[in-house]
Amino acid sequence: MNILHIDCSPRAESHSRKLSAAIVARLFAIAPDASVTHRDLGRDPIPHAESDYATALSSPGSLAATQSNEAVRLSEQLIQEVETADVLVIGTPMNNFTVPSVLKAWIDQILRMGRTIGASPTGEKLGLLQDRPVYIGIASGGFFTGDRAKQPDFLIPYLTAAFACVGLNSLQFFPLQATAFSDQKHLAEERKTLLAIMDTTTLCTA
């Protein structure tokens, strides 16, 4: 099993990193011979879309002309990391109700018309990647889901829609909430509770 592990927090000891590491550890318990590619967007962020890449995506003609050139080199590298993974694990904080900019920069390179996204004759987007499990650990200082929610959630709906565009529909979210005012013991117990509901039935363990 090949695991693509993505972290998004700039903090080395962040709650989202601990949560994503716990998810990866659970996967290793199931598949001890698994391999991991770790892309640390929080500490080694990729650049936001630059002029050449934006130009390449601006029209069908320019996109076709640049599919193999330097403008899409980073995009191609990141897409291939997803394609070679049997499972994705993402650890991310919730920043101002949604994903941090480093994760958005990664998504902007992954979502590419003609490569990971197709279109139906009537214009609907069609995902071109094969589906696989995507486990997303979210750390939030407050409550954004459940009965105690006090803030809007644009993170889960956005990631659900963005990943669906490329064909990734098997998403499972693990919200670790109230990190700003919970003690470490309580948060450790919450991580265990979240991992207890982790669905591994669709994993490819070969």
Q: How far is CA 151 from CA 21, 62, 68, 141, 177, in A?
A: 26, 41, 43, 11, 11
Q: Name which of 3-12, 45-54, 166-175 the model is least confident about.
A: 45-54
> Residue 188: inside a domain, yes or no?
yes
Residue 100 in this model has a pLDDT that exceeds 90: yes
> Residue 121: inside a domain, yes or no?
yes
> Residue 205: inside a domain, yes or no?
no
Q: How far, in Å, CA of 13 to CA of 152, rounded?
A: 26
Q: In total, how many domains does the chain have?
A: 1
Query: What is the mean pLDDT of the segment spanning 20-43?
Result: 97
User: Tens of pLDDT along 51-86?
Assistant: 888 888 876 665 655 555 777 899 999 999 999 999
What pLDDT is recorded for position 116?
96
> Residue 146: inside a domain, yes or no?
yes
Query: Which has the higher per-residue pLDDT, 99 or 202?
Result: 99
Residue 137 in this model has a pLDDT that exceeds 70: yes
pLDDT-derived band at 204 (thresholds 50, 70, 90) equals confident
What pLDDT is recorded for position 65?
56
What pLDDT is recorded for position 56?
81
What pLDDT is recorded for position 61?
62
Question: Which residue segment(s) compose the domain that 21 sits in?
Answer: 2-196
CB 1 within 8 A of CB 204: yes
Q: Which one-letter DSSP state was computed for residue 126?
A: E
Tokens of 58: 């601006």
> Residue 201: inside a domain, yes or no?
no
> Residue 83: inside a domain, yes or no?
yes
> E strands of 27-105, at which residues?
35-40, 87-93
- CATH code: domain of residue 138: 3.40.50.360
> Residue 110: inside a domain, yes or no?
yes
> Residue 12: inside a domain, yes or no?
yes
